[in-house]
Amino acid sequence: MSAAIFDQVRTVLKAIEQEAPQTPEAMEQFRIRYLGSKNIIKPLFDEIKNVANEQKREFGQLINSAKQAAEAKFNALKEQLESAADAGVAGNLDLTAPGEPIELGSRHPVSIVLNRIINIFERIGFVVAEGPEIETDWFNFTAMNTPEDHPARDMQDTFYLKGSTEMLLRTHTSPVQARIMTSQKPPIRVIAPGRVYRNETISSRSHCQFHQVEGLYVDEGVSFADLRQTLYYFASEMFGATKIRLRPSYFPFTEPSAEMDVFLGTETEQTYRLTKGTGWLEILGCGMVDPQVLENCGIDSKKYTGFAFGMGIERQALRLYGISDIRSLFENDVRFLKPFTAV
């Protein structure tokens, strides 16, 4: 019985050595026959119990050699077939054909405009300041001289954290200014860009999340003339404007306050539409920092003065690129973003 079992294993081993599959289909049949879950070698391992004790070791080594021979031949033949396939592909390769184009990603227009604004103000000494998007009521409202009964505190406008009347998503980047003024001594010259959140659902064009950039300059002898000249520089660099005007306005944290317009003219259809035929376009709000805001933040208002300004970045992007619908900035449509690839 033992001799017959040995001969059976040797027959399988000889068959493995003679196998020479030349196609992927034949290779798969070879794998199933000798290496698959129901291969012909596996039952031979069960015959070891019928082998005399002194021959069990020899029989086990013989079976293992058959299994190893099958694995070695399969791997060698597989490598040969793959090499032949690669050689065939290489032989058909046209080295003179143009390569596949590499698609370039696009910068978002909001990012482009934000970086441009930062670059403009960095040239005249402003540095970027950042702060948390989850703020306290004090930094967001109280420090900014916002009265308790101001509409901006209403729950319809502000996202408060669940179960809290003190923690909220900041409604502007002004709390960054408050944090800077409470932690640093003048002179202070910063711009604070970032995301802000407001619960605005009155219009299909409104969004609860958008971006702002605000600026602050506090030092001895800072005047409204300094504010005007700073903003004139920004308008000329950003829009190529040669004229600006400041109209009286109101903000709780500045006094006096103003809205700034730039003159774009009405020569082109785009500027005529943007300015509604007036030639003037409003771009930001500004003013001298209210003395009470300075005092709230621990700065002596009798010694120091300052100015502040703020603008929405999305609105600047709409104006610069002639985008008609603000919702386009939030949809991440690659067809809309494609033109900004080279910007």
For residue 287, pLDDT over 90 is answered with: yes
Helix (H) and strand (E) counts in the chain: 12, 9
- Minimum mean pLDDT range among 58-67, 127-136, 233-242: 58-67
| 139 DSSP 8-state letter | I
Give Cα separations from 87 to 20, 82, 91 (angstroms). 20, 9, 6
Q: What is the mean pLDDT of residues 235-254?
A: 90
**pLDDT computed for residue 340 by the predictor:** 78
For residue 171, pLDDT over 80 is answered with: yes
Q: Confidence band (pLDDT; 50, 70, 90) for 173?
A: very high
For residue 151, pLDDT over 80 is answered with: no
Q: What does the domain layout of the chain look like in residue ranges?
A: 2-91, 109-340
Q: What is the mean pLDDT of residues 131-142?
A: 91
For residue 187, pLDDT over 90 is answered with: yes
**pLDDT computed for residue 75 by the predictor:** 83
Scanning 240-323, the segments in alpha helix (DSSP H) are: 269-274, 291-296, 313-321
Q: What is the DSSP track for 149-167? A: T-GGGSTTTS-BPTT-SSE
Q: Dump strand ranges (E) for the chain.
A: 127-128, 134-136, 167-169, 188-197, 209-219, 244-251, 254-263, 280-289, 305-312
Q: What is the mean pLDDT of residues 279-291?
A: 91
For residue 1, pLDDT over 70 is answered with: no
Q: In the chain, what percentage of residues exceed pLDDT 70?
A: 92
**pLDDT computed for residue 311 by the predictor:** 92
**pLDDT computed for residue 88 by the predictor:** 60
**pLDDT computed for residue 194 by the predictor:** 92
Q: What is the mean pLDDT of residues 232-252?
A: 90
**pLDDT computed for residue 220 by the predictor:** 95
Q: What is the mean pLDDT of residues 302-309?
A: 96
For residue 84, pLDDT over 70 is answered with: no
Q: Would you say 313 and 113 are in contact if contact means Cβ atoms under 8 Å apart?
A: yes
**pLDDT computed for residue 152 by the predictor:** 64
Strongest mean pLDDT among 67-71, 94-98, 109-113, 216-220: 216-220
**pLDDT computed for residue 177 by the predictor:** 94
Q: Confidence band (pLDDT; 50, 70, 90) for 289?
A: very high
For residue 169, pLDDT over 80 is answered with: yes
**Architecture of the CATH domain 109-340:** 2-Layer Sandwich (3.30)
Q: Confidence band (pLDDT; 50, 70, 90) for 336?
A: confident
Phi, psi for 57 (deg, rounded to 5): -65, -45
Mean pLDDT of the chain: 83
